[in-house]
Amino acid sequence: MYLFRHCRTNIPIFDVKILFLLRTFLLLIFLLPVCSFASRYDRVQHDTMHSNMLHITEIKFKGNNITKPQIIFREMTLHSGDSLLQADLESELDFNKRRILNLQLFSSARYDVIQIDENNIEITFTVTELFFWIPKPEFTLADRNFNVWWKEQHANIERTNIGLQLTRVNFRGRSERIGGTAMICLLYTSPSPRDRQKSRMPSSA
């Protein structure tokens, strides 16, 4: 069985303070270069990121003769005054190009980037608008179904409704729709043989 005794070291208080100060001094000597390196690294990272940032001064549109610019901007994630990394520029432009085409108002869209200076750019989207008038023929029967009209009514043209539905897409350039249907009634008559004979009878002298 071993007995442990608490041993007191007779170290003067003055020596303990010296050791504490010495350890603190050595720790500071070790930490100062690390902190200085971290600060320089953060500063370099900040400067590098700042130098790679691009500022969009203006976004323009060409070819939108009818469509209002605010209708296009409403679907985009990029706007004048935004900033983004140079590495993300192409992907962001492609994404916004697809969003413009998703409006279903344009048949094509492309973009051009003008470099004003090192950190400022100007973007122009050129679009081609679709034909905004959509015609749709209308043909309905007055009878219950086609068989009734064909067999019982002997395909009587007078028992049909023929018309044209016309829709205006992108009305007022605001992606609105307006339209209407115009119905045409066709009437066909054939004179009887007796009427034709009467019409051909010579007049008496």
Residue 42: which pLDDT band, with cuts at 50, 70 and 90? Answer: low
**What structural domains does the chain harbor?**
52-129 (3.10.20.310), 133-193 (no CATH)
Which residue is it, tokens 């009887």?
A: 192
CA gap 157, 145 in Å, rounded: 14
Q: Count the helices and strands in the chain (H runs, E runs).
A: 5, 7
DSSP state for residue 158 in the 8-state scheme? G
The count of residues in the chain is: 205
CA gap 170, 85 in Å, rounded: 35
Residues 131-185: tens digit of each pLDDT: 888 788 887 888 888 888 888 888 887 788 888 888 888 888 877 777 766 666 5
Is 0.95 surpassed by the pTM of this model?
no
Residue 62 zone, left/alpha/beta (φ > 0; ψ -120 to 50; rest): beta
- Report, as an integer, the average pLDDT of 30-42: 57
